[in-house]
Every structure is written in structure tokens, then in C-alpha cells.
């Protein structure tokens, strides 16, 4: 089992980055063993199609589920096509290891796709 958490840094102590397509790093974790590796997101500075490029790099790594803040509509469709589960709604500032724990404890819900259909990120409560 391999899950991917979008992050602004390396490793389990890094903070979550909310954006799937533009997050600087992906932390790939086996939630049972807590073995992990961090890869740079090649799509971070992509002019176009960042979401799809991000989905491609994640799919190539054999990821089973993505944990993130929000996923745009194209990335959403790509991850679905690859059979990768999507858990959205994570907040920036949370630590990667906390996100993994929440996942393992069954506290996270699968994305409904509503945010992806709207095609825009949820902005913080104002």
C-alpha cells in the first residue's frame, strides 16, 4: 500500500501543501511500515496541465491513494482513470505524519468530486 501526501517539504515532519498540481513535493508513505520517500513534483512550475503531469508522476510511482487539500477537475479525472483514491480537504500546516495517522485511523473521507467539478480551490473561511 502506498499513499501520497502533497507537501511543502521533505519527509514525515513536513507540512502539507494544499494544492495537488502545484505542491513542491510528494511524500510517498507505506502507512503500515511508515517507510517513506519524498519526490519533487515535476509539474510544480508547468505552464499548463500541472494537474495531469502531477497525476502522471504519482501514477508512475505506483501510488494507491492521494491525500491533499484540493484537486482540480483534470487531475481528478486523471487520478480516477488510474484508479487512485483521492482524499481531499487536508489543511496546509498539518504535518504529513498526522495526515498519515488520520488516514490509518479511518478519519479521512474520500473526495466527493464537488470541488473538482467546481474547478476552483476552496478558500479559507473569511
Contact set with another protein (CB under 8 A)? 43, 46-50, 52-53, 55-56, 59-60, 62, 74, 77-78, 81-83, 114, 117-126
Give 51 or 103: the residue with its C-beta nearer to another protein.
51
Supply the minimum distance, in Å, between the C-beta of residue 41 and another protein: 12
Supply the minimum distance, in Å, between the C-beta of residue 122 and another protein: 7
Supply the minimum distance, in Å, between the C-beta of residue 60 and another protein: 8
Neighbouring CB atoms inside 10 A of 44's CB total: 16
- Give the burial class of 116: count Cβ atoms within 10 A of its Cβ; 0-12 exposed, 13-18 middle, 19 or more buried: buried
Give 12 or 23: the residue with its C-beta nearer to another protein.
23
Nearest residue to 31 (alpha-carbon basis) of 1, 73, 69: 1
Amino acid at each position: 500500500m502506498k499513499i501520497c501526501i502533497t507537501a511543502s517539504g521533505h519527509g514525515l515532519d513536513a507540512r502539507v501543501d494544499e494544492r495537488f498540481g502545484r505542491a513542491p513535493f510528494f511524500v510517498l508513505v507505506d502507512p503500515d511500515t511508515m517507510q517513506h520517500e519524498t519526490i519533487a513534483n515535476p509539474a510544480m512550475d508547468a505552464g499548463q496541465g500541472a494537474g495531469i503531469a502531477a497525476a502522471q508522476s504519482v501514477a508512475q510511482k505506483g501510488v494507491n491513494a492521494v491525500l491533499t487539500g484540493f484537486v482540480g477537475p483534470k487531475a481528478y479525472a486523471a487520478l480516477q482513470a488510474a484508479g487512485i483514491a483521492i482524499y481531499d480537504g487536508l489543511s496546509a500546516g498539518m504535518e504529513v505524519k498526522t495526515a498519515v495517522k488520520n488516514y490509518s485511523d479511518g478519519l479521512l473521507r474520500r473526495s466527493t468530486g464537488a470541488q473538482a467539478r467546481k474547478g476552483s480551490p476552496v478558500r479559507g473561511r473569511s
